Structure 1
Amino acid sequence: MYRYTLCFINRGTELLMINRNKQPEMGVWNGVGGKIEPSEIPEQCVLREVFEETNIRLEKVSFTGTVTWINPVKGTSGMHVFLGEVSENYEYSTPVSIDEGILEWKEISWVLDSNNRGISNRIQEFLPLMIDGYILDHRYTYDQDGTTFCYEQVPLNQLA
């Protein structure tokens, strides 16, 4: 089981993103999430992390797939990814400074723009498919020096 979760909170045409002020993913926009505690399942973790980081209490989230990193030096790791939703008129003013960074609503089109280099690495590859309802393992294989040399999309029902 993977040790991390990530959630993209949708409000109409926007996603709530965090620009982290420390590693990993320092200085770029990303979804909200964190490490799964030993007693948690991924859905519990992501609901807890969303509340801790944003003070938004989501009723439910939708599982949208996994992202796997296969690295010959660091081993295999990954995260469970979810979409959460609030109503279009949900009041949550941003930007908001929190311990982990800055929260801000960003237009989905801005997040997914292939020319946007301010977004966390790989989100523009896997997030559009997740938004469209495809539940896949987005598998990134790296070589010895950490360069991606293979990206695969594997339907989760085909994983052994």
Structure 2
Amino acid sequence: MFKYNVCFLKSYDRILMLNREKPPIMGVWNGVGGKYEAGETPDEGAIREVFEETGIKVNKYYSKAIITWNKDGGEKDGLYVYLFEVDSKLGNTPLKKTREGILDWKKIDWIMNPGNLGIAEMVVQYLPVLLEKESDHLFEYKEGIVKQIKGGMGTK
């Protein structure tokens, strides 16, 4: 099991994003998330992190991914990524300052715009796949590219 997760909440045509106030990736828009606590499954940790950082209760994810990469020395590391669908009314709530940074509902087109340099490095590579199909996915990150592994983790 990997140590971290990142979670995205989708409300109609918007996704809740966090502009981080501290490292890592300070000043960059990304999903919410963090470290797992002892004894948590990846799903339990993601649900807890979403609630802690947003105050929004989620339960079943729409799609999920594992992204892996090789660390120096060849050891594997990775990250769990979740996409939750929430009530479409939530996407109209104003931005909010939290201890982690600024939360705001961003339009998917804004996030995916190639001219947008403020989005976390891998997001624009894997988010379209998570949005497209309700499923579990497996990706590998290598040399700046996130590649979906053929066959993924199967469907839900």
Q: TM-score range by the shorter chain?
A: 0.7 to 0.9
**CA 37–22 in structure 1, closer or farther in 2 if over 3 Å, else same:** same
Q: Which amino acid aligns with 1:136?
A: H
Residues 20-50 of structure 1, C-alpha deviation per residue, up to 9 Å, x if partnerless? Answer: 0111111110011111112100110011000
Cα distance between partner residues in 2 of 1:157 and 1:44: 19
Cα distance between partner residues in 2 of 1:30 and 1:100: 11
Cα distance between partner residues in 1 of 2:147 and 2:59: 32
CA shift, 1:73, in A, is 5.2
The answer to whether the 8 A contact 1:33-1:49 is kept is yes
Instruction: Specify the alignment match of 1:72 in structure 2.
Output: 72
Unaligned runs of 5+ in 1: 142-147
Instruction: Specify the alignment match of 2:139 in structure 1.
Output: 138
Cα distance between partner residues in 1 of 2:3 and 2:61: 18
Instruction: Specify the alignment match of 1:156 in structure 2.
Output: 152
The answer to whether the 8 A contact 2:15-2:91 is kept is no
Q: Which amino acid aligns with 2:61?
A: V
Cα distance between partner residues in 2 of 1:121 and 1:73: 23
Cα distance between partner residues in 2 of 1:65 and 1:91: 23
- TM-score, structure 1 normalization: 0.85
More strand by share: 1
Residues 51-81 of structure 1, C-alpha deviation per residue, up to 9 Å, x if partnerless? Answer: 0000011132234211112122584321111
Q: CA RMSD in A?
A: 2.0
The answer to whether the 8 A contact 2:66-2:137 is kept is yes
* 1:8 matched to 2:8: yes
**CA 19–150 in structure 1, closer or farther in 2 if over 3 Å, else same:** closer
Q: How does 1:32-51 map onto structure 2 within 5 Å?
A: 32-51=32-51
Q: Identity over the aligned pairs, expressed in percent?
A: 36
Q: What SS is found at the alignment partner of 1:106?
A: strand
**CA 71–14 in structure 1, closer or farther in 2 if over 3 Å, else same:** same
Q: How does 1:96-135 map onto structure 2 within 5 Å?
A: 96-133=96-133, 135=136
Cα distance between partner residues in 1 of 2:31 and 2:110: 14
The answer to whether the 8 A contact 1:63-1:80 is kept is no
Cα distance between partner residues in 1 of 2:40 and 2:47: 11
Q: What SS is found at the alignment partner of 2:62?
A: strand
